Amino acid sequence: MRRAAPALALLLLLAGCSSTDATTETSSTSSSPSPTASSSPSPSKPAFNPCSGLSAGPVGKALREKVRETTGTSDNPRCAFLPVAKGGPTLNVTYLEFGGDFDKAFAAMGQIKGRVSDVRIPGATAARVVVHASRKVVLVTGFVQVHGLIETVNAIQLAPYDAGTMRDATEAVMRTLVATAP
């Protein structure tokens, strides 16, 4: 799985998985035993949905194409922005409750294919973006930690695409996630 992270994210986006499924996948790629997946909220605490601070208008503006928001249900939250036009960009957000060190969690994923860079986001403990572009597709994955919460933004677009726009949109969503994190 050392190079499979972008491919896994791509499959999750294309399959339209809920944040529950995507978080389960995320936690399985991390070899750390301490994370608590978002799919198991405590009975007294409702499930967190990272879409609560996001909406289709600003996300679509960042992606430069119209998208529609899908939030799932209170029992099975999902945060996805799906293309209105065929072939348009798709973006989804998952999260993992994790109180450990961001760099150790990132390193546990193994070698990630793509250009990895740290990002400064006010209020974030740490943030990192991975851009993997091929002839047919661009996949941008952003990881941002706020206290004990790591949120992951996956953005994908088939060719023709603008990798810079996809990266900028991912970072804009990450900034909003930090500003609205619980």
Q: What is the pLDDT of residue 156?
A: 96
Count of structural domains, the chain: 1
CATH of the domain at 86: 3.40.1000
pLDDT tens-place string over residues 14-65: 333 333 333 322 222 333 333 334 444 444 455 667 888 899 999 999 999 9
pLDDT tens-place string over residues 49-61: 788 889 999 999 9
Query: 9: which 2 tokens?
Result: 């994210």
* CA–CA distance, 41 with 24 (Å, rounded to integer): 13
| Among 122, 141, 121, 123, residue whose Cα is nearest residue 131 | 141
Residue 93 belongs to domain spanning: 5-180
Amino acid letter, residue 1: M
Q: What is the pLDDT of residue 47?
A: 60
The reply to whether the predicted model has a pTM over 0.85 is: no
* CA–CA distance, 50 with 33 (Å, rounded to integer): 23
Max Cα-Cα span within the chain: 48
Instruction: Please enumerate in sequence order all residues whose Cβ is within 8 A of that of 100, keeping only pairs 6 or more positions apart, or say none.
Output: 32, 34, 35
* CA–CA distance, 137 with 143 (Å, rounded to integer): 20
Pick the more confident residue, 181 or 169: 169
Amino acid letter, residue 46: P
